[in-house]
Amino acid sequence: MAIKPQIGLEIHAQLLTKTKAFCSCSSESFDAPPNTHICDGCTGQPGTLPKLNATVVEFAVKAALALNCHINERSSFDRKNYFYPDLVKGFQITQYFRPIAENGSLLIHADGRKKKVRIRRVHIEEDTGKLLHSPADRPECAFIDYNRCGIALLEVVTEPDLDTPKEAHAFMETLRNTFRTLGICSGDMEKGALRCDANISVRDTDRGLVTARVEIKNVNSFRFVEKALEYEFERLKAALLSGEKTVSETRGWDQGSRSTVSLRSKGEENTYRHFPEPDLPDIVLERAWIDRIRTTIPELPMEKQDRLMEQYGLTMAEAKTFLDEPELETFFVAAVGQGLPVKAVKNWLLGEIQKTLKERALTIDRTTLTVARLAEIIEWIATGKTTTHIAKTLIPDLLENDISLEQLLSEKGISRINDSAYVIEVSKKVVEEHPEQAEAYRFGKTGLLKYFIGLVMKETKGQCDTSLVQETIKALLEGNNIEG
C-alpha cells in the first residue's frame, strides 16, 4: 500500500496540582457550581500578576522524564495573544520559545508490536474558562464559567510518527496510563482532563504526492480520535486519488453524522503575536533537583506491561487490561500473592468480574469482593462444591453484598447443586417426558445429548454441574445403572 497517513498529536493534560498554575485557587472544580473557584488573579483583574505554582514544574519534569525528554535547565514563559471571552487576560501564558522539555520518545504497543514515537516538545500552559452558549432557560445568553481558567496544562506534541489511527489510539492510551502512573493527570477524557488535537496528512509515496495537513480539534475520547482519523484518512485518500485539491484546515468530529466537519481554514487563523512574558522570571532547574525527581518516578506502564507478561505469563492483551484498570491489577497481584492459581484468578477478573464492573461503572476497590472471597469461589469450584456457571451468576451479588458464599447460595435457593439424587430425579423426569427423542438418541442421534442437558439445566434453573448432568443423562439414555 503506497498511500499512507502521517499523524501527529497535540495532547493537553490538566495537571492534578491542588491549586491553579498561577494563583492559589483550587483546581478541583469540575463539579463545583460556576465561578466558585476564582480570584482576582484568574479572572484577570487589572493589576494582578501571575505567580508560578512550583508543583506544576515538578509535575512537568516528571512527565518529561517519563517521556525521555531532554529537560531544558532554563526555560521561560511567553504570551499567546488573542481575544476570546473565556480568556481573561487577552493572552494565554504558555511556553512558546523555550519549552521545559524537548526531543523525547514514548514506546507504544500497537498491532502486536512495539513502536517508538518521538516527542517534539513538552510545555506548561494555562487552561481557559468554559463558555455555555444559549442554555435552555436563557437561550438569548451566553454564560462564562471561570473555574477552569488558569488550571495548569501540560501540552505534549509528537512528531508525525504515527502511521495509523490505531497507533494514535494506542499512543493516547499509553500516555494516559503513564500520566496516571505518575499521578500528574486523572486522564478523564470525558471531564476534559485529557484533550487531543490530531494532525493528519496523507502521502502517496509512489507518486510523491501529499495532501494538505488537517487538524482535528477537541475530540473527547480515544475511540473518537481513532474514528475521526479513520474518516479523515479515507476522505483525504479519496481526494488524493481523484486529484482533488485539499486545503489546510481545522476540522471537528461530529458524532451524530460520524464524520468530520470543517471549522475554519488555516488562512483565517490568528497570528498569536507571541512574545516573552515579562511578569514571570525564567524557570531555572538544577541538575541535582532533576535527578532527585528522577528517583521518584515509579515503574511506567510499558515497563510494567512487559513485566506482567513475563512474570505471570499473561498475553499482551491481558497485561494491557490490567494497565488500563489499575484497581484490577492491584487485586490480581494481591490474589496471586496469596498463592491462588494465576489462570483462575485472571479468568475471573478479566471475565465475569470485569464485565459486571463495567456494566455498573464500578471499580473493584469500591465493591465488597475481597481476595479471600475470590479464593473461596475458586476453591469451591475446584472441590466441586459449586459450578463455574453458578458462581458466575453470583458475581453481581458478591460485588454488592458482604455475605458469605454459603449464605448467598442458600438464600438464592440453589443449595442442591451437588446433590446427585436431585439431578437424577430431574433427569429421569425429562427423559420420560420426551420418549421420542430418547428413542432417537438410542438409534444413534447422539447429538441429542445436548438437547437433554439443556432441558435439565432449564428445569433446575442452571444450578447443576454440567458434567454431572451430562453423565447422568448419558447413563439414563444408554440404560446404565445409575443408582449405584
Partner 1 sequence: MEIWKNTVESLVRGIRDKSWSPRDILEAFYKHAWAADSRILAFIRMPKLSEISIPDALDSLPLPFAVKDNIMVEGFQTTCGSYALWNYKAGYDATAIARLKASGAVFFGKTNMDEFAMGSSTKYSAFFTTKNPWDYYRIPGGSSGGSAAAVAAGCVPFALGSDTGGSNRLPAAHCGIVGYKPSYGLVSRYGLVSLASSLDQIGPLCRSVRDAACIGNILIGKDEKDATTVDRPMDLLKGIENSIAGKRCAVVRQSVPETIDPHVRRAFWEAVEIFKQNRCVVEEIDFPEERYAIATYHILVPSEASSNLARFDGVRYGFRIPEESLTDMMAESRQYGFGEEVKRRMLLGAFYLGEAQYDSHYQKAMKVRRLISQRVHQIFQDYDVLLSPTSLFSPFRITENTDPLAFYLSDKNTVLANLVGLPALSIPMGFANGMPCGLHLQCKPFADEMLFNIARAYEKSAGFFEDDHYPFPFQEERLWL
Residues in contact with partner 1 by the rule CB under 8 A: 40, 43-52, 79, 81, 83, 85, 88-91, 142, 144, 271, 273-275, 278-281
Cβ count near 460 (within 10 Å): 18
Contact 276, 78 (CB under 8 A): yes
Nearer to partner 1, 50 or 165 (CB): 50
Query: What's the closest the beta carbon of residue 266 comes to partner 1, in angstroms?
Result: 13
Sign of the CA dihedral running 40, 42, 45, 48: positive
Query: What's the closest the beta carbon of residue 347 comes to partner 1, in angstroms?
Result: 56
Query: What's the closest the beta carbon of residue 156 comes to partner 1, in angstroms?
Result: 25
Nearer to partner 1, 243 or 278 (CB): 278
Query: What's the closest the beta carbon of residue 273 comes to partner 1, in angstroms?
Result: 4
Query: What's the closest the beta carbon of residue 79 comes to partner 1, in angstroms?
Result: 5
Nearer to partner 1, 91 or 380 (CB): 91
Contact 219, 196 (CB under 8 A): yes
Host H or E run for residue 426: helix 420-433
Give the CA distances from residue 182 to residues 117, 296, 298, 356, in Å, rounded to whole numbers and listed in that order: 19, 9, 7, 28
193 exposure class (CB count in 10 Å sphere: 0-12, 13-18, 19+): buried
Nearer to partner 1, 43 or 174 (CB): 43
Give dist(CA 154, CA 23) in Å, integer: 17
**Scanning the structure block, which residue is given the C-alpha cell 445568553?**
141
Query: What's the closest the beta carbon of residue 152 comes to partner 1, in angstroms?
Result: 16
Nearer to partner 1, 95 or 356 (CB): 95
Nearer to partner 1, 91 or 233 (CB): 91
Sign of the CA dihedral running 372, 373, 375, 376: positive
Nearer to partner 1, 85 or 341 (CB): 85
Query: What's the closest the beta carbon of residue 286 comes to partner 1, in angstroms?
Result: 18
Q: What is the largest CA-CA distance in the chain?
A: 97
Contact 80, 74 (CB under 8 A): no
Tell me the residue type at 459.
Answer: E
